[in-house]
Structure 1
Amino acid sequence: MPQIIILPHHEVCPDGAVIEANVGETVCDAALRHGIEIEHACEKSCACTTCHVVVREGFNSLGELDELEEDLLDKAWGLEAESRLSCQARVANEDLVVEIPRYTLNHASEKH
């Protein structure tokens, strides 16, 4: 079972975490299953960028971006070459190191 190392994030995961993921599961679903509340304003329908992550290790093991995800990523805050929408990035057999950006472009967060 592959692992996802989530780097520390000031609000979502202050100490960082190492979680197990199922092959084929999205990074977002794996994180949520382990209590790491990655924002996902569109309910994981690939319609926003709030679940944007940067894959620091293991990026090439993920499936290719489709055109919709690629277009949406252009709008993400802090976009990098290894950026993915965590609701679309499916885990393969390789471990991942993931960073959750400090900010999102969500103008109406459910958390206060």
Structure 2
Amino acid sequence: MTQIVILPHPTYCPEGTVIEATSGESICDALLNHDIEIEHACEKSVACTTCHVVVREGYASLNELDDKEEDLLDMAWGLEATSRLSCQALIGQEDLVVEIPKYTINHASENH
């Protein structure tokens, strides 16, 4: 099992937490399986950026980005060098530290 430290987020995980996840599982699925209800407006079909996370530690242990994810990430709020779409980032063997950005671009929830 891989340990994921989730940094505090005012809505999804105010206190921060540590969870255990299975290698090969997506970060999004790991969060959802531990009742951290991260947005995933496209239902994990790589069509939005609402599940964007920043991997503060362990980034190199994740699977490589494909072109579609890389293109979508360019539209994510608060993009950083270690940003990933959590629905596409598959957990490896190394422990992770993950930050859920404060904001997301979700036109459905913003009433656009």
Task: State the TM-score, normalized to the length of structure 2.
Answer: 0.96
Q: Give 1:45-64 correspondences, 5 Å limit.
A: 45-64=45-64
Deviations 1:40-66 (A, max 9, x none): 000001100000000000000001100
1:13 is the counterpart of 2:6: no
* Amino acid of the structure 1 residue aligned with 2:73: L
Q: What is residue 87 of structure 2 aligned with on the other side? A: 87
Aligned partner of 2:41 in structure 1 is 41
Q: Which amino acid aligns with 1:16?
A: G
State the shift of 1:107 in Å: 1.7
CA distance in 1, matches of 2:43, 2:109: 13
Partner of 2:3: 3
Shift of 1:109: 2.3
How many residues in Structure 1 have an aligned counterpart in Structure 2? 110
| C-alpha separation in 2, matches of 1:4 and 1:39 | 18
Matches within 5 A, 1:96-107: 96-107=96-107
What runs of 5+ residues in structure 2 fail to find an aligned partner? none
Q: C-alpha distance in 2, partners of 1:107/1:13?
A: 22
Query: Gaps (5+ residues) in structure 1?
Result: none
CA RMSD in angstroms, aligned pairs only: 1.0
Q: Given the two structures, how large is their TM-score scaled by the length of structure 1?
A: 0.96
CA separation in 1, counterparts of 2:109 and 2:24? 28
